[in-house]
Homo-oligomer: A and B are copies of this chain.
Amino acid sequence: MELFRERGYDETTVAGIAERAGLTERTFFRHFADKREVLFSGQEQLQAAFLDAVEAADLGVEPLAVAVGALEAAGPFFADRLEFARLRQGVIDAHPALQERELIKMASLAAALAAALRGRGAGEPAASLAAEHAISVFRVAFARWLEAPGPSDLVDQVRAAQAEIVAMLRDWSAEAEEASALGGEGRGRR
């Protein structure tokens, strides 16, 4: 992060990072698959936190509630890291190559969540839909947490975003029904 701030991402070489860390370029690539990966290595632990939360949830709770509930595990994970997260996101937002990495990380997070839900007995479109919905909520909540003027609670942002999105979807259902009548004529129903 020091170097990224001093010179920008593109102008920072892996050799430079390694030198600043007192290591060799070769060693850098033993710890990070990519130059980009250095900004995303925390994701594994976040994913682990989500999955643990799914494990810990009561059986019998709806997959959607489990998935969204698991997002609250992100609270402690990001506690006291607001400033770092803002900096990191600034770098990512300025570099398409990093956005690509972020997208695939989010997708793999959703996939892992869906797998965990399936492991708890959730059926198949439900698990994937719940997981993707949860990740959408998390994305919105996280962005708002970063943008908030003062420091806010990420968990509160998650709950607010979830409530808002669900309300939006509810408002939408009539409209969606209308679109279905117009476009698909029930072809895919069972």
Contact = CB atoms under 8 A, between A and B. Distances in A.
Interface of A: 62, 64-65, 68-69, 96, 99-101, 103-104, 107, 125, 129, 159-170, 172-173, 175-180, 182-190
Nearest to A107: B103
B100 A65 contact: no
Instruction: Report copies per complex.
Output: 2
Contacts of A187: 159-160, 163-164
A167 B179 contact: no
21 contacts: A64-B175, A65-B179, A99-B107, A100-B100, A103-B103, A125-B168, A159-B183, A159-B184, A161-B188, A162-B179, A163-B183, A163-B184, A164-B184, A166-B176, A166-B180, A167-B186, A167-B189, A167-B190, A169-B169, A170-B180, A173-B173
A170 B163 contact: no
Contacts of A169: 169, 173, 176
Contacts of A188: 160-167
Given A99-B104, A100-B100, A162-B188, 5 more contacts: A160-B184, A164-B187, A167-B186, A167-B188, A169-B176
Given A100-B101, A167-B189, A168-B125, A62 B178 contact: yes
Nearest to A62: B175
A73 B71 CA distance: 38
Nearest to A176: B166
CB-CB nearest 8 A-B residue pairs: A163-B184, A164-B188, A163-B188, A100-B100, A103-B103, A166-B180, A163-B187, A160-B188
